[in-house]
Amino acid sequence: MIHPQPVTPASIDVARAERHLLPNGAALYLLPADEFEVLRVSFVFRAGSAVQQVPFSASTTANLLSEGTRSMTARRIAEQLDFYGSWYDVNLDRDYAYINFAMLSKFAVETLRIAAEILLHPTFPEEELRTYCAKRRQRLEIDRTKVDVEAREAFAAALFGARHPYGTSSPAEAYDRLTRGEVEAFYRRYYTAERCIVVCSGRIGPTERAAVEALRAAARDLKEGLLDTVVTAPIDKETVQSDDFRFTGHTEFFGAEFGGEPMMIMCSDILRVGLVTKHIPVSEISRSITREKIVADLLTLRRSLVEDFGVVEPRIAVMALNPHAGDGGLLGREEEEIIRPAIVEAFSKGVLAFGPFAADGLFAGGGYTRYDGILAMYHDQGLAPFKSLSPDGVNFTAGLPVVRTSPDHGTAYDIAGQDKADAQSMRSAIYAAIDIVEHRRAWTEWSRNPLQRAEREKGGRDISVKDLPQTERED
């Protein structure tokens, strides 16, 4: 019998992955393959069984991630993934936990939103934990009656030693002792950005990379004095991350490029709203609000109102956090312990700040018209009434030496190219940028000669400070 000679290839052509570092510290590897319609994203955590202190906590944590989150039940997660034709899978070895998603490229954004919910906000429901542990114990007891499983565990113990993480085999009844608190502790410790590698393969379009390059070109032209201002279109924050762009959005990018303390101000002809906290879960708002942060934001907002909007001595309303402005502490202590002291301190620094005001009373009664600016405690508290009252509002980045504005809406990929988008917010952003540039030039001239005085624009808002209430509560 003649045996063919083995053929050894001179070289193997293996695609080289693009490595990027995300702003949160996670490493991202891209393997573009435009010939495929499917995109696969794997989140690989250094959270295998070798690092667990409690038996079976590693595998249980990985398998319960999708069994309920803050805003989605396990059933809802499954229905949403099925609706988009996406696939979800979990694998675990001694070193790593692999959380895998596969999706059509056109549904990447929708699927990754579900992935973010699973990875960032799991709740590990007690009922699901007990059901999972009971099933896993039964399965493990059956498996250990098989020769191959018994041999594999014996080999690992002999090779690594019974005390080594690679050689340890826990008794099946350990599943009965595993608690929800132990699972949550394992998740908090090991499911972090620093311990995560993201591998993305499939169709990865060049659109987002072009957007980043255009943004950098605009920044260069601003620095060189070739531009007076930049008006940015909405950007997809999830798809632009790379080694060269480690920012979650325009505001953070321009803050890094030009220095200063950037602050998002939503503005229109009738309303200007700044935010103390931005894109964070509601559960984190209270502990993110500090006296120091409010004072700093009030100083930034006042300076912007003076220099960018031409208000000589702006009056700022500060919104409360709790209903009824806390009702003297009955509905929360943040107003008495944090917000009100911050207002007093800012007032001593020259800021005409008033409040804290109950949100519903301030807007429903038209009280906001008495103020030049409003400082809201969190995203929806400020933006919901703003967008209701100003449908064509503008997002302005204050606190920078350059002027940048943007429409107050997102990318709206779902209606792109269908002639459905309303361009008015973009037009308003352009007009606002021009106005702010002119106001800054005027302020520069005014500040050069202290003898000159600017007069406040009239229009029914020129109310004496003494006539403004220090607090406003719901009846």
**pLDDT score of 186:** 95
Average of per-residue pLDDT across 237-260: 60
Of all residues in the chain, what percent carry a pLDDT higher than 70? 79
pLDDT at 332 over 70: yes
pLDDT per residue over 259-310, tens digit each?
666 788 898 888 999 999 877 788 888 888 999 999 999 999 999 999 999 8
What pLDDT, on the 0 to 100 scale, is given for residue 422? Answer: 74
CA-CA distance, 313 to 468, in Å (whole number)?
14
92 pLDDT exceeds 50? Answer: yes
pLDDT of 457: 44
pLDDT at 206: 57
pLDDT band at 455 (very low <50, low <70, confident <90, very high): very low
Structure confidence at residue 228 (pLDDT): 79
Identify the structural domains of the chain with CATH numbers, from first to last.
18-202 (3.30.830.10), 207-467 (3.40.718.10)
Whether pTM exceeds 0.75: no
Q: From CA 313, how far away is CA 290, in angstroms rounded?
A: 25
pLDDT band at 350 (very low <50, low <70, confident <90, very high): very high
CA distance 170 to 54: 10
Tens digit of each residue's pLDDT (9 = 90 or more) over 52-79: 999 999 999 999 999 999 888 999 999 9
Amino acid at 162: A
